Amino acid sequence: MIKIFKLLFLIISFSSFSQNGKKAISGQILDEETKEPIPFASIYIENKTIGTTSNEEGFFIFHYPINDSLKKIIISSIGYETIEKNIGSFISDEKIFISSKITHLNEVVITATKKKKLSAKQIVKKAYKKIKDNYPTEPYILEGFVRDLQNENNKPVEYLECAAKLYNLPHYIEREPDIEIVEIRSNYITKKNPWNKNRDRKNSLMDLIEDDFIRFDYGPIKAKRGWKYQIEDILLYNNKYVYKITAIDKPFQKATLFIDTESFAFIKMELTRNSHKGKSWKRRLSNGAQQMYYNVIFEYQEYNNKMYLKYQKEEDTWEVYDIENPKKLLFTKKPKKELFINKIIAEDVENYPFIKNMNINNSLENQAKEYNSKFWSQYNAPKQTKAMSKIELYLKEVVK
């Protein structure tokens, strides 16, 4: 009788888990020809807004609702053929090879241009004018994973990961999203240079979300005077084609833009600024910091004919000088911040659970709650790389 009761308990427990829990698939995405890892590939459920991203080594783990077990997974990356694969056909930690497909300019007839050849600058200008059609005109929420790594004099001093929700207004309203910090993990901070106490910006997430080219209308997308544009190639993406356009604004700036050949939506944008002959493109800030390197990436995903953020990265190098002695270099700092979106909420937004709770004037680590292991066990965060694991272990020992 006891054995029967235990068996029934297990069946009931498993049934409950099946209704409310999640399963997971995992693997590594590789280039079919070179066998090299493909970083930041999209892995998501067909016709749904739930997904994840491969890490820099091509590895991923994706937690999906059990109710979606019969659906297809879509795997895509710019320059590669898109793969559709039944969830049930995945093998644990399998290697998934996808083939690259580079199309030479003279091999493609682009119907969107009605066979009229456009210059690179004309394409960028057209994409800029089409922003109003291609990006959300209604409020929406993005759920995502934030990673913040800070180095000083080439040594890690802080590493933080958190899950957050971002409540966004339509793209044409120039205001940062409201933030809900859901959970925080890997919260390690060691002794930083004393300069940071009174002069560093407290909340690193705000640094990341305020640099939105689309929302704040700046960067290489405006095709202003000084920028020189060139079509590099046309690449496959999600069974469509995108222009790859490079841009240069001498002597400090260069950019790469990926633009859909049909909708003229910006699919991906990267901007890099470098110092030139020891001079920054900006004057030294009043706090003594001078930015010597800046790199930002935005990548978008389509849902219901609108483009939503998929991935964002900002990486900087700052030289910090003594305010009293401007020629005295105190230290060099290199922050790197990333945002990986794993869910889009575009319908019934006002009824979706959201609580604005982030204090923008307080650091993220000071807003952390007790670690929630159950939450993180099923959360769609990018799989940690070996390099990041080593950094976390190093900081864990230092903090002790």
Verify that 205 and 326 share a domain, yes or no: yes
Reply yes or no: is the peptide bond before residue 251 cis, omega within 30 of 0.
yes
Verify that 92 and 129 share a domain, yes or no: no
Q: CA–CA separation, 292 vs 210, rounded Å?
A: 19
Verify that 303 and 181 share a domain, yes or no: yes
Verify that 74 and 144 share a domain, yes or no: no
Q: How many domains does the chain have?
A: 2
Q: Is 217 buried (19+), middle (13-18) or exposed (0-12) by CB count in 10 A?
A: middle
Verify that 222 and 291 share a domain, yes or no: yes
pLDDT in tens, 290-307: 999 999 999 999 999 999
What percent of the chain is predicted at pLDDT more than 90? 68
∠ CA(98), CA(99), CA(105), 5° rounding? 140
End-of-domain residue from the set 100, 132, 167:
100
What is residue 97's predicted lDDT score, i.e. its pLDDT? 96
CA distances from 365 to 169, 218, 360 (A): 26, 31, 12
Model confidence, pTM: 0.90
Which range among 42-51, 97-106, 215-224, 281-290 shows the weakest confidence by mean pLDDT? Answer: 97-106
Verify that 147 and 266 share a domain, yes or no: yes
Verify that 211 and 299 share a domain, yes or no: yes
More confident residue, 246 or 92: 246
Report if residue 300 sits inside a domain.
yes
Report if residue 143 sits inside a domain.
yes
Verify that 135 and 54 share a domain, yes or no: no
What is residue 112's predicted lDDT score, i.e. its pLDDT? 42
pLDDT in tens, 136-152: 999 999 999 999 999 99
Report if residue 362 sits inside a domain.
yes
Residues spanned by the domain of 216:
120-399
Report if residue 380 sits inside a domain.
yes
Verify that 95 and 146 share a domain, yes or no: no
pLDDT in tens, 8-59: 333 333 333 344 588 999 999 999 999 999 999 999 999 888 999 999 999 9
Task: Report the CATH number at residue 48.
Answer: 2.60.40.1120
Place of tokens 């759920």: 143
Verify that 75 and 207 share a domain, yes or no: no
DSSP 27-59: EEEEETTT--B-TT-EEEETTSSBEEE--TTSE
